[in-house]
């Protein structure tokens, strides 16, 4: 397994507050890696640091062997890192189609086969393509956020809480699609509070706690680890 994305001892601060206290994570080509943790553990901060919205105070980030920490966000996406941000962040007054075209901004214009691929994954978006992003339901917005990130033809896709606020049936559907995207060849780094669902599709997982990685293992091992079950699945401490 070749390492595609590597964070090495990454530290991020918001003013005086340390949000990440030395995070080391490796993501291999073709993997789905789950990044788990409670609210405020630093999951979103990790993704935002990878995509260049935040810059590490210490440590390094490598993508395909190239150092990328310090690059601005608009250059990072050009390297092949797509990011579906926390809270979906759909452009509310652009249509579904325009939102997808924004995803392809780095190419100048959206390519038809990319659009076809997104519409094949999310037929609902095809039905709603002329509707304003702001008028979509939560589930549709999530589909659009993932589809928009795919439009940049990412090598690695960063997904921040894709199941947040969605009905259980829809959550299952979104996770099935994430697996499908991965099978089509895209590496996925998945941030989730929904640990069971995330670990059920992931190959490996990391657990973040107050800015530090406290566990990392194969997803199947984490799924049965009593500490994980106690902390994230609401079971009594073993």
Partner 1 sequence: MCLTHNFWGFFVPGLANGFLYALIALGYTLVYGVLQLINFAHSEVFMSGGFAGLFTLNWLIGKHHPAGMSSVGYVVIGCVAGAVGGGVVAYLLERVAYRPLRRRHAPKLAFLISAIGASYFLLNLAGKEFGRDSRPIAQPFTQTQTDPLFKIFGTGVSLYYAVIAVVAIIMLVMLDRLVNKTRLGQGIRAVAQDADTAGLMGVDINRVIAQTFIVGGLLGGAAGFLYGLGPANVSYTMGFTPGLKAFTAAVLGGIGNIRGAMLGGLLLGIIENLSVACISPSWVDVVSFFILVLVLLVRPTGILGERLGRSA
Residues that bind partner 1 (CB under 8 A): 51-53, 72-74, 77-78, 83, 85, 89, 91-94, 98, 101-103, 105-106, 108-109, 148, 152
Q: Which CB, 50 or 171, lies closer to partner 1?
A: 50
What distances in angstroms separate CA 90 from CA 4, 61, 82, 93, one per listed residue?
A: 28, 27, 14, 9
Q: Which CB, 56 or 205, lies closer to partner 1?
A: 56
Q: Are 198 and 161 in contact (CB under 8 A)?
A: no
DSSP annotation of 210 reads T
Name the minimum Å distance from CB 92 to partner 1: 6
DSSP β-bridge partners for residue 37: 208
- How many Cα neighbours within 13 Å face the side chain of 162? 31
Q: Which CB, 115 or 207, lies closer to partner 1?
A: 115
Residues in the chain: 238
3 state DSSP class of 118: helix
Name the minimum Å distance from CB 73 to partner 1: 4
DSSP-derived pairing of the beta strands 156-160 and 81-84: parallel
Name the minimum Å distance from CB 93 to partner 1: 5
Name the minimum Å distance from CB 214 to partner 1: 28
Nearest alpha-carbon partner for 148 in 80, 208, 98: 98
Name the minimum Å distance from CB 203 to partner 1: 25
Q: Which CB, 150 or 199, lies closer to partner 1?
A: 150
Distance, CA of 150 to CA of 119 (rounded, Å) = 11
Q: Which CB, 21 or 117, lies closer to partner 1?
A: 117
């Amino acid at each position: 397994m070749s390492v595609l994305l590597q964070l090495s001892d990454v530290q991020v601060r918001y003013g005086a507050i340390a949000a990440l206290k030395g995070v080391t994570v490796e993501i291999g080509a073709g993997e789905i890696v789950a990044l788990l943790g409670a609210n405020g553990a630093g999951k979103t901060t990790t993704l935002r640091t990878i995509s260049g919205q935040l810059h590490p105070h210490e440590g390094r980030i490598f993508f395909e062997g190239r150092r990328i920490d310090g690059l601005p966000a608009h250059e990072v996406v050009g390297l092949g890192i797509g990011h579906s941000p926390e809270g979906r962040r759909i452009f509310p007054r652009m249509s579904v189609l325009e939102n997808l075209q924004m995803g392809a901004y780095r190419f100048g214009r959206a390519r038809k086969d990319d659009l076809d691929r997104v519409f094949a994954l999310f037929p609902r978006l095809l039905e709603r393509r002329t509707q304003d992003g702001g008028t979509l339901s939560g589930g549709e917005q999530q589909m659009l956020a993932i589809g928009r990130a795919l439009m940049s033809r990412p090598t690695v896709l960063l997904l921040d809480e894709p199941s947040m606020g969605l009905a259980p049936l829809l959550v299952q559907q979104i996770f099935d699609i994430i697996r499908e995207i991965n099978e089509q060849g895209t590496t996925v780094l998945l941030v989730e509070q929904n640990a069971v669902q995330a670990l059920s599709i992931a190959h490996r997982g990391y657990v973040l706690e107050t800015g530090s990685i406290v566990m990392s293992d194969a997803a199947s091992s984490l799924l049965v680890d009593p500490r994980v079950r106690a902390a994230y699945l609401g079971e009594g401490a073993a």
